[in-house]
Amino acid sequence: MYKILKKQTLAANIYLMDVEAKRVAKSCMPGQFVIVRMDEEGERIPLTICDYDRAAGTVTIVFQTVGAGTKMMAELNEGDSFHDFVGPLGCASELVKEDKESLKKKRILFVAGGVGAAPVYPQVKWLHENGVDADVIVGSKTKALLILEKEMEAVAGNLYVTTDDGSYGRSGMVTQTIKDLVEEGKQYDVCIAIGPMIMMKFVCLLTKELGIPTVVSLNPIMVDGTGMCGACRVTVDGKVRFACVDGPEFDGHAVNFDEAMRRQQIYKTQEGRAMLALEEGDTHHGGCGNCR
């Protein structure tokens, strides 16, 4: 059992939990995720790792209530436990694999939308701890939905906050802030964008126009998290990939976002899954290639 040591409400329907999971904390890296289950019959819920403390043996997760499983999670309190807390899963961020001296010369921009601030934070924190500065744009619909601002401010080289309704920070979408920064003279060697699929799509359209290589994390489309359900199938550079086993990070300019978002909607119903199976044939199922 994996005890919840801390629970915090970050915003309406958005929660943070510190969970005692020593083996996961010992080996996880920024960009990876875990799968949690509340009991033996519970739903498998993949969640990106927001932070970790190797000495304390804890892993921090952030989640938004979007369905029955996450709503039940929100009812758990400090002292309660998860039945399963499996990980680390997925590939670590490409940035943590690069030479640190080379990283220090790179001009890096992170763009976080909504709950996407949670998976962005550990990457920026890791860079900061290794002497690498990165600019960070954090966007939310309103000030009330903004999360992890103080934490991000402590590790970002420059933090730019924007709200869709202009209630806090800069006004408008994150893409407008990217445009503004470039017009102000900022230059970037790479952009990492994490957030809702539609946000990542438009960030990639803009950065392609601006000539900025861009990495996206497709954790929002994961369901099973092991490559067997096929929900996170995505076409990248014309090839079939699965976010949970091949990613979650991909070249954003090579991702077919329109196809991925269409699959997200269709996959929700049994009829939709049957139609996808018919359309996609032998490639419909997940990364294991054997499930039926």
pLDDT of 266 > 70? The answer is no
ω before 119 within 30° of 0 (cis)? no
Q: pLDDT value at position 223?
A: 62
Cβ pair 155, 125 in contact under 8 A: yes
166 phi/psi in degrees, rounded to 5 = 75, 15
pLDDT in tens, 185-243: 999 999 999 999 899 999 999 999 999 999 998 876 666 556 666 677 788 888 888 87
3-state class (DSSP) for residue 110:
strand
pLDDT of 284 > 60? The answer is no
CATH architecture of 100-217: 3-Layer(aba) Sandwich (3.40)
Mean pLDDT of the chain: 86
Domain map of the chain by residue range?
2-89, 100-217, 220-247+254-292
pLDDT of 11 > 60? The answer is yes
pLDDT in tens, 37-53: 888 887 888 888 999 99
pLDDT of 135 > 70? The answer is yes
As a whole number of angstroms, the distance between CA 223 and CA 282 comes to 20
To 10 degrees, what angle do helices 174-183 and 197-210 make?
A: 20
CATH says 2-89 is which class? mainly beta
Pairing of strands 108-113, 84-89: unpaired
From 161, 158, 208, 154, select the one nearest 185 (Cα to Cα). 158
From 74, 79, 17, select the one nearest 48 (Cα to Cα). 17
Cβ pair 218, 254 in contact under 8 A: no
